[in-house]
Amino acid sequence: MPQAPLHCQFPPHFVWGVATSSFQIEGAAHADGKGESVWDRFCKQPGAIADASNGDIACDHYNRLEEDLDLIASLGVNCYRFSVAWPRVQPLGQGNWNPKGLDFYERLVDGLKARGIQAFATLNHWDLPQGLQERGGWNERNTVHRFVDYARHVQARLGDRLDGLTTHNEPWVVAVLGHEQGSFAPGIKSRGIAAQVSHHLLLSHGLALQALRADGARSPLGIVLNLSSCVPATAMPADIAAARMADARGRRWYADPLFKGCYPDEVLAELGADAPIVQPGDMAAIEQPMDYLGVNYYARTVVAASGADWDARQRGLPVTDMGWEIYPQGLADLLCLLHRDYPGLPPVYVTENGGAFKDQAVVNGRVQDDDRIAYLREHIAAVASALQQGVPMAGYMVWSLMDNFEWASGYQKRFGIVHVDYRTLARTPKASADWYRDFLKAWRG
Ligand code: FCB
């Protein structure tokens, strides 16, 4: 039976967005009383960032808010996902609040509402105040309580106008890349600290949800996880077991506590003495009902028992400029797996999906990024397939609105559907932005 056109496969209330994060686009790193974040500090470490860049200017979004709001509106999306920079709102992560910081996010949210666009805010997209890092950061239980205070403060000011309030973006990245591998801020290399950090992130999510609801939360509340479908490199039992373990470490370590109130036993056993300290009541606190789950998906993970890197590029498979395999079916597989493993799964948003590609320069006002268009179309089709299979899909957000600071890769990797010229800071919608706009127009009918 021929498939309906892609845009017809989504219901009228579906949420379509573009996503960004504070540190990656705002710049104005020291403006209007903003405090230092762990990423401001990390960028100063020699060798930490591929092009030795930082977030001081980034896309200068802080100073170009109105222009960027118009840009978002011009795409025809009905949702924008952004993050609040904690050190902009509370420079040291405790004590004084910075009214100018909150004013900025209020202008952002009001500007979205005025344009008929839903506002999805994330409280922690990794830019922890450096002041808290100096007191132990996420390894320290006190940070959990500071985060709850911060969450309550943001909700008190903006909560009545938000359409989604996410506690954390990708706790795995903060824990593992930030504290085990040390390739992301704050650059710590300890498996035990990473495990404790992951527990504190999850705990702070649960306690924040409790506190926000006690305060009368009006917006839906959730968390965003980076998830991947893990598949064995071969049909050998050892590879199959290794893939299961990778899935337990990357997906179930986060999703099981949130939906089942426990950590996977096999990961606890593997961690041994590095397992986190869990106090009585912590697991119940983490397992709060959620109004939605955000899923960030970029690629599948192919796992070999030997631990050898499975390099898609070397195997001649399609990859993005990050070297990540382009595998849209993995998104449908992952969404169905979540649906199967967690009965009562709340509405699911794909909160990030997109690709870095070596875009051609702007020629006559155009960037013809056909590879990105294909990437987006195929992944949106995977979401449609998950919907058809009964997964409660609620929305899809492209990463990213515009080219930006891609963490340890600096400005070398371009994920935007809008091109940014880092010399002039001019924004130029790419062909993929036109494609997305046309797709959404067709969907609206
Ligand atoms: C995700 C991050 C996001 C962006 C994309 C490419 O892990 O949440 O900020 O860097 O990867």
Question: By the 8 A CB rule, do 162 and 105 touch?
Answer: no
Ligand 1 midpoint to CA 298 (Å): 9
pLDDT at 314 over 80: yes
Ligand 1 midpoint to CA 123 (Å): 15
Alpha helices in 248-388 (DSSP H): 253-260, 265-271, 282-286, 329-341, 370-388
Ligand 1 midpoint to CA 16 (Å): 18
Question: Rounded CA gap, 426 and 418, in Å?
Answer: 10
Other C-beta atoms within 10 Å of 113: how many?
Answer: 14
CA torsion, points 173, 179, 180, 184, in degrees to nearest 10?
A: 60
Tell whether 305 is covered by a domain.
yes
What CATH number corresponds to the domain at position 91?
Answer: 3.20.20.80
Q: What is the pLDDT of residue 22?
A: 99
**Can you read off the two tokens belonging to residue 344?**
């009562």
* Count of residues in the chain: 445
Catalytic residue (choose from 36, 180, 325, 352): 352
Ligand 1 pocket mutation, candidates 407, 415, 417, criterion most atoms within 8 A of CB: 407
Tell whether 183 is covered by a domain.
no
Closest atom of ligand 1 to CA, residue 226: 7
Residue 306, helix vs strand vs coil: coil
| Tens of pLDDT, residues 22-56 | 999 999 999 999 999 999 999 999 999 999 999 99
Judge residue 140's burial from the number of C-beta atoms within 10 Å of its C-beta, 0-12 exposed, 13-18 middle, 19 or more buried: middle
Ligand 1 midpoint to CA 416 (Å): 12
**What is the residue range of 385's domain?**
13-175+220-255+291-444
- Please say if 36 is a catalytic residue: no
Phi/psi for 416 (5° steps) reads -75, 155
> Long-range contact list for 139-147, CB < 8 A, 24+ apart?
139/179, 139/188, 139/193, 139/196, 139/197, 139/200, 140/200, 141/200, 143/93, 143/200, 143/204, 144/200, 144/203, 144/204, 144/207, 145/207, 146/93, 146/94, 147/123, 147/204, 147/208
- Please say if 352 is a catalytic residue: yes
Tell whether 91 is covered by a domain.
yes
Question: Rounded CA gap, 44 and 46, in Å?
Answer: 6
Q: At what angle do helices 431-444 and 370-388 cross, to 10 degrees?
A: 30
The band of 108, judged by pLDDT with boundaries at 50, 70 and 90, is very high
Tell whether 17 is covered by a domain.
yes
DSSP run (H or E) holding 442: helix 431-444
Question: Rounded CA gap, 99 and 349, in Å?
Answer: 31
Supply the residue whose CA is at minimum distance from atom 4 of ligand 1: 406
Ligand 1 midpoint to CA 46 (Å): 22
Catalytic residue (choose from 170, 180, 325, 406): 170
Lowest-confidence region among 245-259, 304-318, 344-358, 381-395 = 304-318
Ligand 1 pocket mutation, candidates 83, 170, 184, criterion most atoms within 8 A of CB: 170
Judge residue 431's burial from the number of C-beta atoms within 10 Å of its C-beta, 0-12 exposed, 13-18 middle, 19 or more buried: middle
Determine the average pLDDT of the residues in 218-235.
Answer: 97
Tell whether 333 is covered by a domain.
yes
Q: How far apart are the first and last CA of the chain?
A: 23
Closest atom of ligand 1 to CA, residue 413: 6
Ligand 1 pocket mutation, candidates 296, 405, 409, criterion most atoms within 8 A of CB: 296
Tell whether 379 is covered by a domain.
yes
pLDDT at 110 over 90: yes
Supply the residue whose CA is at minimum distance from atom 9 of ligand 1: 21
Q: How many structural domains does the chain have?
A: 1
pLDDT at 308 over 90: no
| Tens of pLDDT, residues 391-407 | 999 999 999 999 999 99
pLDDT at 360 over 90: no
Other C-beta atoms within 10 Å of 357: how many?
Answer: 21
Strand blocks (E) in 107-186: 118-124, 164-169
Ligand 1 midpoint to CA 387 (Å): 24
| Locus of tokens 């205070």 | 149
| Pocket, ligand 1, Cβ cutoff 6 A | 21, 24, 169-170, 173, 226, 296, 352, 399, 406-407, 415
Tell whether 5 is covered by a domain.
no
pLDDT at 410 over 90: yes
| Tens of pLDDT, residues 126-173 | 999 999 999 999 999 999 999 999 999 999 999 999 999 999 999 999
The band of 363, judged by pLDDT with boundaries at 50, 70 and 90, is confident
pLDDT at 2 over 80: no
**Can you read off the two tokens belonging to residue 191?**
């498996």
Phi/psi for 348 (5° steps) reads -115, 130
Tell whether 374 is covered by a domain.
yes
